[in-house]
Amino acid sequence: MNFPAIQRFRRRQAVGEPVYGLWITLEAPSIAEAAAALGLDWIVIDAEHGHLDWKEITEHLRAVVRSETVALVRLPELNGGAIKRALDCGADGIVIPWVESSEQVRQAVEFANYPPEGRRGIGAERATAWGQAFLEHTAAANDHVLVVPILETVRGVRQAATLANIDGVETFFFGPADLSASAGHRGQWEGPGVAQMILDAKDAIVRAGKHCGLLARDTADLERRREQGFRMIGLGTDAGLLIRSLRQSLAVVGRDASMRADLSVPADSPPGGPSGNRSTSLLDRPPESVRPDRMEVTVTRGEHEPITLAPGVSFDCSVGAVNGAKHLTTGYVSFEQGAELPYHEHPFAESVTVLEGRLTFDVVGRRYVLGRFDNITIPRGLAHAARNLSRGTVVAHVAMASAEPTRTLIDRSFSLRAMPADSTGRPGAERVTRFATAPRAAAGPNTQFIDYFNADLLPGLEMSGGYGGFDPGGRLPAHFHDFDESIAIVAGRATCVVEGRRYAMSDRATALQPRGRVHYFINESTSHMEMIWVYAGPRPDRIVVDPRCATLEGDPWK
């Protein structure tokens, strides 16, 4: 056992500092060695799923010996023989899956401790220097061994407060995918209600003076989990991080693709990704058939005179007929405290993304409460209303599938029904995207994109759009669209490059990219940047071109 590394691990958690690690599923010990060389606080070697055998597990343990990295082994099940074997091989602790009861936790602690406190047998293996350090090892092992149960069922998280009071365990891990399956949402990382179950269980465990951990899905989730108070955070799995990096690089050249369960690439599917911008093949230059008829436009917030929609409700138009957009209007709607927009409907689709505050949104009586970056999309002809029932002003980004929007007020009432906090809308009607749990994918290096709405998510929808987050250095490849696009920079600073012309954008500035204009966005700042993008087309398709087309020298239209 690596006693100094375990002590360092515990000290960091004790002062409220998260410990970061890697989940290992692949056999090469170089992965563990690289993790230790990068200074990760821990690794978990996964013996529950996948194909690792005991020889490969031991090689991973050898790769981090004498480092500052704690090495844990996740076992297939709660089993005294397996626990003994993992610890004899030199693991600093064990991770126990599918824990649901106090008795299981007590058994895991007993199996991991030598008598008289526990039932672990003493072996002449790596842990005791092959029998040469019996006294040295056994004198300290019980005080250092780490036992980490995983709560990954509804029954398990409901027992969190009770389990947290058992001695011998300091950290509990969560398994969102299995928890989702046990809650009836098989195949989802965090199905409806699961995110709140985890947070509630985490709070109960923290109140008992213990720590919690889980795997982050991406960099944004990593930051969110740290803010939520998790103190053992996985950066990802080795295979997952490798695939994510490959997809980010492929996205730069327009070759991002989803993976299938049979690991085959569909012969009839073009290269593309599931989120943000589905790319077609790389072209040398755009075809003459999409030659643009207008220049790009950038609009600062408040550049156009606001339109009063109702008392205390105003619309600041960014993109639309005012600057030559086709089939698209975007902008910002502000709701003063207590203001409401009465029931109305449109002959086109509308999408609303909350940027500040909390907005109450009603759709024919179904009431949703939306927070920051939550989105609701309403198909044409569906009556809806919005109210600011929170303190302070609410600001939302709005998109409509028309350059000259109109509305018809609805003079009737609807029976009010409050929708669950994790509701994602009604099939065939409105669609609600909850930012915290929405699937994410890369559209370029250091980016994460969310699809809010498109014709695949809402059949018959006339437009598509979503959220884009850019870490420093994040960028998209040079590309164009066969429709107009609106891009609003809602946080941070962005550089927009259009055929060599550069625009610095921030403070909710919006860019209108006409059909055929070659452009890309890049985050050249040192902080995170976020955008809301909307296409005047039903699907988020982009056509990636040679990067030279986005330069002054390579401008395809000059």
Residues marked active site are found at 49
388: helix, strand or coil: coil
Dihedral Cα 72, 228, 245, 268, nearest 10 deg: 110
For residue 416, give both structure tokens: 């009010």
- Write phi, then psi, for 139 (nearest 5 degrees): -70, -30
The Cα 260–Cα 262 span in angstroms is 5
Rounded to 5°, angle at Cα 206 from 435 and 22:
65
CA distances to 209, 236, 462 from 511, in Å = 49, 35, 20
CA distances to 5, 276, 378 from 114, in Å = 21, 54, 62
Could you tell me the sign of the dihedral formed by the alpha carbons of 260, 265, 268, 273, in that order?
positive
Residues 457 and 451: beta-carbon distance below 8 Å: yes
Residues 294 and 513: beta-carbon distance below 8 Å: no
One DSSP character per residue, 131-180 reads TTTHHHHHHHHHHH-EEEEEE-SHHHHHTHHHHTTSTT--EEEE-HHHHH
For residue 303, give both structure tokens: 């550049």
280: helix, strand or coil: strand
Residue 35's region, left for phi above 0, alpha for psi from -120 to 50, else beta, is alpha
- Residue 533 exposure: Cα atoms within 13 Å on the Cβ side: 31
CA distances to 156, 174, 272, 408 from 97, in Å = 11, 9, 36, 56
Q: Report the run of H or E that residue 104 belongs to, with start and end.
A: helix 102-112
Q: Residue 31 carries which DSSP code?
A: H
